[in-house]
Amino acid sequence: MITECTHEVDAKKDITTIISKPSQQIRVIYRVQNSFLPTQSLNPAMVISNSDPLNQGHIQVRFDWQMHNITEWIRVMTRDAGGGDKVSTNRGFMSIPEVGDQVMVGFQHQLPDRPFVMGSMFHGKVGGGGGAGNNIKSISGKSGNVICLNDGAGIEIKDKNGNHVTLSGDGDVTTEVSNNNTEKIGVNRTINVGTNNTINIGSKDGGGANAVLKMDSAGNVSITCDKEIKFKTGSSSITLYEDGCIDIEGLNISIKGTKSVCNSSDGEVHIKGSGSAEALFKGTTKITGSQVDIN
């Protein structure tokens, strides 16, 4: 008497039939050319979790036809994935769908027990399209970080705080940093400017009280500020004040002119020293004034 008969079909379409009798079990394996395996086509689903306990980038989804159940942790397809000698994990393009995203799920060998995420789908609530002329291509994260390629204009890289680098497409580049900007250069740095170079410090866009350094291709250098300019090295310094005063300090100060030296003032001229004074001239020496007092 046969008490049980079980049929098993594998991926090669081999059918195993197990016939059970009270005292023995008979296993028969054969292949049916026109047999059909259960198959599954593409299905949309919603991402329920992306917190893979194994940290391998798997996600769990819920199909539209599921009420409360979800899938096991399934893989996510990407345009480039792998590892290597330099990069052991996440080599290639890594982007895991967010919870609540709509994804399209395919099935390896069309087997319903081998699902994988083929990609994400925009829908009416989140899709914005590529704009007029379909010129916009972008990569953006949930925090607001964006890389935008605009074939009608240029390129913009922006972070969540509004810092951005804009390439206009017309040859102009604009960089805006809301807080601090630090550059680290290992060896040399060279800046070549074709015409003018202007640095404004102290106010946005150079307006109001600030300090300005200008250099141009004609060989002119201009330093302008609203308070004080100071040049200092060691114990020597030159300070220019906003009230028109200039201080020159140093252990030894030498002023030399190859043709002439002229010191003039519309007011008084004072020469003062705590030690001795000496004036040496090889030519004629003349001291004139409305009144000359020599003590």
82 — pLDDT class (breaks 50, 70, 90): very high
The pTM of this model reads: 0.68
- In a domain, residue 279? The reply is no
106 and 152 housed in the same domain: no
Residue 286: the pLDDT is 87
- In a domain, residue 273? The reply is no
159-192: per-residue pLDDT in tens? 999 999 999 999 999 999 999 999 999 999 999 9
49 and 116 housed in the same domain: yes
- In a domain, residue 182? The reply is no
The two three-digit tokens of residue 186, written as one number: 């290992």
Cβ atoms of residues 62 and 72 within 8 Å: no
Residue 13: the pLDDT is 62
Q: For the ranges 2-11, 44-53, 165-174, 228-237, which has the lowest average pLDDT? A: 2-11
Domain boundary residue, one of 229, 247, 265: 247
28 — pLDDT class (breaks 50, 70, 90): low
Query: Is residue 11 predicted with pLDDT exceeding 80?
Result: no
Q: How far is Cα 31 from Cα 9, in angstroms, rounded to an integer?
A: 9
- Tell me the CA distances in angstroms from 240 to 73, 93, 96, 164, 276, one per residue in order: 70, 57, 59, 37, 29
Q: How far is Cα 10 from Cα 195, in angstroms, rounded to an integer?
A: 75
What integer is the mean pLDDT of 21-43? Answer: 62
Residue 27: the pLDDT is 56
206-256: per-residue pLDDT in tens? 556 678 889 999 999 999 888 899 999 999 999 999 999 999 999 999 999
* Overall number of domains in the chain: 4
Residue span of the structural domain in which 104 resides: 43-81+95-121
Q: What percent of the chain has pLDDT over 70?
A: 87
- In a domain, residue 237? The reply is yes
- In a domain, residue 213? The reply is yes
114: CATH: 2.40.50.230
- In a domain, residue 238? The reply is yes
Of 25 and 112, more confident = 112
Residue 43: the pLDDT is 93
225, 231, 232, 233 alpha-carbon torsion, rounded to 10°: 140
Query: Is residue 195 predicted with pLDDT exceeding 80?
Result: yes
Residue 137: the pLDDT is 95
Q: How far is Cα 68 from Cα 205, in angstroms, rounded to an integer?
A: 57
Residue 281: the pLDDT is 85
Residue 208: the pLDDT is 60
260-282: per-residue pLDDT in tens? 989 888 988 888 888 888 888 88
Residue 154: the pLDDT is 95
205 — pLDDT class (breaks 50, 70, 90): low
233 and 165 housed in the same domain: no
Residue 34: the pLDDT is 55
- In a domain, residue 218? The reply is yes
Residue 207: the pLDDT is 58
104 and 72 housed in the same domain: yes
Query: Is residue 29 predicted with pLDDT exceeding 80?
Result: no
Domain boundary residue, one of 247, 269, 286: 247
55 and 102 housed in the same domain: yes
117 and 52 housed in the same domain: yes
17 and 67 housed in the same domain: no
50 and 109 housed in the same domain: yes
141 and 114 housed in the same domain: no
Q: For the ranges 140-154, 160-174, 194-208, which has the lowest average pLDDT? A: 194-208
32 and 67 housed in the same domain: no
- In a domain, residue 103? The reply is yes
Residue 38: the pLDDT is 61
Domain boundary residue, one of 211, 231, 247: 247
Query: Is residue 32 predicted with pLDDT exceeding 60?
Result: no
49 and 4 housed in the same domain: no
Strand order in the sheet with 136-140: 136-140, 146-150, 155-158, 164-167, 173-176
